[in-house]
A and B are shown apart, each in its own frame.
Chain A
Amino acid sequence: MSNTDFVLAIEDLTVSFDGFKAVDGLNMYIDHNELHVVIGPNGAGKTTVLDLICGKTKSSSGSIKFKNRELTKMPEHQIVRAGVGRKFQTPSIYENLTVYQNLEVSYPAGRSVWGSLTFKRTDEVIERVNKIAAEVLLTDLLQTEAALLSHGQKQWLEIGMLLMQDPELLMLDEPVAGMSAKERDQTADLLKRICQNRSMLVIEHDMEFVKQIAHKVTVLHQGKILAAGTMDKIQANEKVIEVYLGH
């Protein structure tokens, strides 16, 4: 079943660090327009899964197919260009650049050395930056140095930077960690909005937030899938309650 209609198909994925299997024989599928949340206790291998998909960590065995293209052998930037975007756990933005520049740098043109040297700031670019800025609620802060943003705004900026690339699969690592309740709700709205026409893979701890957004949930435990399904099903699963929700 290597040829699928899924956006992302992970099969028998394993990675070990000096003998320790952080991800062990993982199988996971993500559909078009699906917002998939991965939960699990610390050390379950959630972030490692994202690392493996985006190429930051190389797998020991198994396959990751994105629209039927094998990702495990591709270099990181090719994976991104194929349409996979990834947000890091701590906001990873360019603090010395303005919000505008942060977004513009992420615009998917002029990605080669020569391209970047001859890149021109066309109306199209400006328009797109403005549109995305509005989407992530940063229109008023376009000329602000990114270092001066609040924690929540930094998270949004990074999401905005990913949206600039218009990825088909967007992966977010704990997007609401450290946010206020209001910011969290705004983020939930944001994610629901941007989930149109793309699939998303989100790691989150905040169960309230997960309930708000998730179409499907996978529970990881010690590098293996403990359970998968809708939020309601997961919440009823006894194994899950035992290792995770119960505490």
Chain B
Amino acid sequence: MKALSEKLLGGKQGAIALAILAMVLFVIFPLWLDSFRLSMLGKYVTYAFVSVSLVLLWGNGGILSLGQGIFFGLGGYCMAMFLKLEASDPVSTKIQTTPGIPDFMDWNQITALPWFWEPFKSLPLTLILILLIPTLLAFIIGFAMFKRRVGGVYFSIITQAIALILSILIVGQQGYTGGVNGITDLKTLLGWDIRTETAKYVLYYVNVCLLILSIMLARYIITSKFGMLLLAMRDKEERVRFSGYDVSDYKIFVFCVAAMISAIGGAMFTLQVGFMSPSFVGIVPSIEMVICAAVGGRMSLIGAVYGTLLVNFGKTMFSETYPELWLFLMGGLFIAVVMFFPDGLAGVYDKYSKNFKLGELLAKFNKNTVKRIGDML
């Protein structure tokens, strides 16, 4: 049991960092942010799932997916489909030509619920599909590409193209998907109004719990022999292959796990924000998520979470005060991180922490981060 907990928490150092993160997200932010900023934070936390998945996939595995938005979006759409069906009961849709189906279907002359919407009438089935559909798609993509040894930039470009295809498809098939507007006007989850203040808090905490669990899952993978092999593969793929490992299996697996973690983020996004739209599936959000992970540190699970929160708070703050400067800042930040701090915030922290006592500095660093964010708001 001891070994297991060690692996989930990543040793003493990892446990402290995780505890501080949990503290910040569970206690400090909720006490100190008003409900408006907190629900914004909740949204960023859902992006952090994708960053965590990218640390696993890209930082450790060296596989740069420019299509994580696909999985985030699919998870989000699955959740949204369930909520939309619940919001489209025959009573509240009685002005429609066909009551009982989502409003956008009715506008598109669809008179019966399409078959692939049927499973989303049930919550347990929906929850399963949130995990299953993105994972399955990742498996298919991964199987096709990794078994044929497509890697590096080719993988990035192809995932990017798939993200584009999926977003055009969703926009084009608006009768089934809600088109460019997405699936909107989501109200209740099994009768529980997700728009109320209390609901926002509850969802926020669920969200943070799931994030911490995802980090622990990722940590377990990274600290196991699997994680060591991932690093080994990133450096010397041939050597791993000629040590008797089927490299593609490992890549497929880690791609699937990354997809699943992203999908959880997407589903939580839908619950917190109240809608899902194709603008989270395409190329731009997918790359922005990579930016977040890079800023936080592509090798550090915790760092990537902080990076995501910082980048997004920065984005909000800058676009509030200096909308003109935002793209300069974002682009500049990205160039700077890639060129000068390839390990991101976490790398900078590691560099300076060696001279100090770890625990103290960790605490100080986190306090500073919190303070910095506080100052920004």
Cβ-defined contact, A93 with B236, below 8 A = yes
Cβ-defined contact, A113 with B249, below 8 A = yes
Write out the residue numbers on chain B whose beta carbons fall within 8 Å of the beta carbon of A96: 231, 235
Interface residues of B in 204-243 (CB under 8 A from A): 220-221, 224-226, 228-229, 231-232, 235-236, 238-243
User: Size range of the interface on B?
Assistant: 20 to 34
Nearest B residue to A161 via CB reads B243
> What secondary structure prevails in chain B residues at the interface with A?
helix
Q: Which of these, B3, B241, B253, contacts A113 with CB under 8 Å?
A: B253
A190 at the interface (CB under 8 A from B): no
The 3 closest A-B pairs by CB, nearest first: A80-B244, A119-B225, A116-B226
Query: How far does the alpha carbon of A233 sit from the alpha carbon of B242 in the complex, in Å?
Result: 34
Write out the residue numbers on chain B whose beta carbons fall within 8 Å of the beta carbon of A85: 242
Query: How far does the alpha carbon of A157 sit from the alpha carbon of B218 in the complex, in Å?
Result: 30
Cβ-defined contact, A94 with B244, below 8 A = no
Interface residues of A in 148-171 (CB under 8 A from B): 158, 161, 165
CB distance from B86 to the nearest CB of A (A): 37
Q: Which of these, B3, B224, B236, B242, contacts A116 with CB under 8 Å?
A: B224
Known contacts A95-B235, A116-B225: A105-B249 contact under CB 8 Å: no
Residues of B within 8 A of A (CB): 3, 220-221, 224-226, 228-229, 231-232, 235-236, 238-247, 249-250, 253
Using A101-B228, A105-B232, A116-B225 as known contacts, list a sample of 12 further A-B pairs with CB atoms less than 8 Å apart, ordered by residue number in A.
A54-B242, A81-B244, A85-B242, A92-B238, A93-B236, A94-B232, A94-B236, A96-B235, A105-B225, A105-B228, A108-B244, A161-B239
Write out the residue numbers on chain A whose beta carbons fall within 8 Å of the beta carbon of B245: 77, 111
CB distance from A76 to the nearest CB of B (A): 5
Number of residues on chain A facing chain B (CB within 8 A) = 33
Cβ-defined contact, A97 with B243, below 8 A = no
Write out the residue numbers on chain A whose beta carbons fall within 8 Å of the beta carbon of B244: 77, 80-81, 108, 111, 165
Query: How far does the alpha carbon of A85 sit from the alpha carbon of B244 in the complex, in Å?
Result: 9
**Among A85, A108, A116: residue with most chain B CB under 10 A:** A116
Write out the residue numbers on chain B whose beta carbons fall within 8 Å of the beta carbon of A112: 249
A110 at the interface (CB under 8 A from B): yes
Query: How far does the alpha carbon of A108 sit from the alpha carbon of B243 in the complex, in Å?
Result: 8
Write out the residue numbers on chain B whose beta carbons fall within 8 Å of the beta carbon of A108: 244
Q: List 13 A-B contacts (CB under 8 A).
A: A76-B241, A77-B241, A94-B232, A94-B239, A96-B235, A104-B228, A105-B228, A108-B244, A111-B244, A113-B253, A116-B225, A116-B226, A118-B224
Write out the residue numbers on chain A whose beta carbons fall within 8 Å of the beta carbon of B249: 112-113
CB distance from B260 to the nearest CB of A (A): 15
Known contacts A97-B228, A117-B224: A106-B243 contact under CB 8 Å: yes
Nearest B residue to A77 via CB reads B246
Query: How far does the alpha carbon of A80 sit from the alpha carbon of B232 in the complex, in Å?
Result: 17
Q: Which of these, A92, A113, A165, contacts B250 with CB under 8 Å?
A: A113
